[in-house]
């Protein structure tokens, strides 16, 4: 009897260990509506998308996939979930007894912007659109005799196109800036001057934490100065100077929410320092 009990115990122990091992090496299978099949390990199920790692690269980056693109997921324990007709209203409860749709996923869903961009791991994310406005000291601001009429205002737009590693991203975008001011030349009269910059380029973004990010980029810019007299004893005149060049810049972003961040940018346009606010959509 004792031997029988011992054998039964050993058998149950072996069965449990085998089951745990099988579960650890089993894979999830994602069937997309375009007939693509992905072998993966599903990490999280959010309100409108899933996050997964590719089965052949479990140490690699986490990918996002909209539920509207998924036909079916067959999980490692045999449970299947259909997403046919999914429009982000389906329950996030899947595979009971696993952490795939745990409270962590529901908590992180609050870090998804209104466009569905997941900023839970940092302000910059794949497929995110970023629009920022800023002010800066501009050209000759604060010098004696200069009267600023419009401060140095700038706007920038970036679209994140590629993921680099776990926390890095590459983007492309555009930039524009403008400033207007007057100059008092004393007995010679007054002149009015304005300056503008437009450009396009690319940047590298890196999320240090879920709130702190840094950016470095390079733009090709076109700039112009326009000068005209407003009161001059020698008569009216106008002068324009235009040119092109490259503009290297660096930024620090601090996220205030899943939808916005404040930033400090150096070397952008004609202002050495800019302070602004950026939104993601």
- Look up the CATH architecture of domain 129-280: Beta Barrel (2.40)
Residue 102 above 60 pLDDT?
no
Q: How far is CA 172 from CA 130, 131, 220, in A?
A: 10, 12, 12
C-alpha span between 2 and 50 (Å, rounded): 51
C-alpha span between 175 and 154 (Å, rounded): 7
pLDDT tens, 16-72? 454 444 444 568 899 898 888 898 989 998 988 899 998 888 887 888 999 988 988
Residues in contact with 53: Cβ distance below 8 Å, sequence separation at least 6, in sequence order: 40, 41, 43, 60, 61, 62, 63
- Looking only at the bridges linking them, the beta strands covering 80-82 and 70-74 are antiparallel
Residue 114 above 60 pLDDT?
no
pTM of the full structure: 0.58
Which candidate, 195, 191, 189, places its Cα nearest to that of 137? 195
Q: Which tokens go with 215?
A: 């950016």
Residue 261 above 90 pLDDT?
yes
C-alpha span between 235 and 228 (Å, rounded): 11
Mean pLDDT of the chain: 79
Residue 117 above 80 pLDDT?
no
Please report, for the chain, the start and end positions of each structural domain, with discontinuous segments joined by +. Answer: 2-111, 129-280
Find residue 176's DSSP bridge partners: 155, 198
pLDDT of amino acid 204: 98
pLDDT of amino acid 15: 46
C-alpha span between 229 and 26 (Å, rounded): 77
């Amino acid at each position: 009897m004792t031997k029988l009990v011992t054998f039964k115990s050993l058998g149950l122990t072996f069965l449990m260990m085998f089951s745990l091992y099988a579960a650890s090496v089993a894979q999830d299978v994602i069937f997309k509506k375009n007939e693509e099949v992905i072998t993966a390990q599903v990490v999280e199920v959010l309100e409108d998308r899933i996050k997964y790692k590719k089965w052949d690269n479990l140490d690699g980056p986490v990918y996002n996939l909209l539920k509207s693109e998924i036909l079916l997921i067959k999980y490692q324990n045999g449970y299947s979930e259909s997403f046919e007709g999914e429009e982000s209203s389906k329950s996030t409860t899947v595979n009971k007894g696993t952490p795939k749709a745990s409270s962590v996923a529901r908590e992180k869903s609050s870090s998804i912007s209104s466009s569905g961009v997941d900023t839970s791991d940092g302000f910059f994310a794949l497929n995110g659109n970023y629009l920022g406005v800023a002010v800066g000291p501009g050209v000759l601001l604060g010098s004696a005799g200069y009267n600023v009429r419009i401060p140095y205002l700038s706007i920038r737009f970036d679209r994140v196109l590629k993921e680099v590693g776990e926390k890095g991203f590459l983007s492309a975008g555009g930039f524009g800036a403008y400033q207007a001011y007057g100059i008092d030349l004393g007995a010679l009269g007054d002149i009015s001057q304005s300056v503008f910059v437009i450009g396009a380029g690319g940047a590298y973004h890196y999320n240090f934490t879920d709130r702190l990010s840094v950016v470095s980029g390079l733009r090709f810019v076109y700039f112009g100065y326009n000068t005209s007299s407003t009161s001059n004893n020698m008569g009216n005149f106008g002068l324009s100077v235009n040119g092109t060049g490259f503009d290297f810049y660096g930024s620090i972003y601090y996220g205030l929410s899943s939808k916005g961040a404040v930033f400090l940018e150096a070397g952008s346009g004609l202002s050495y320092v800019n302070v602004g606010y950026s939104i993601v959509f």
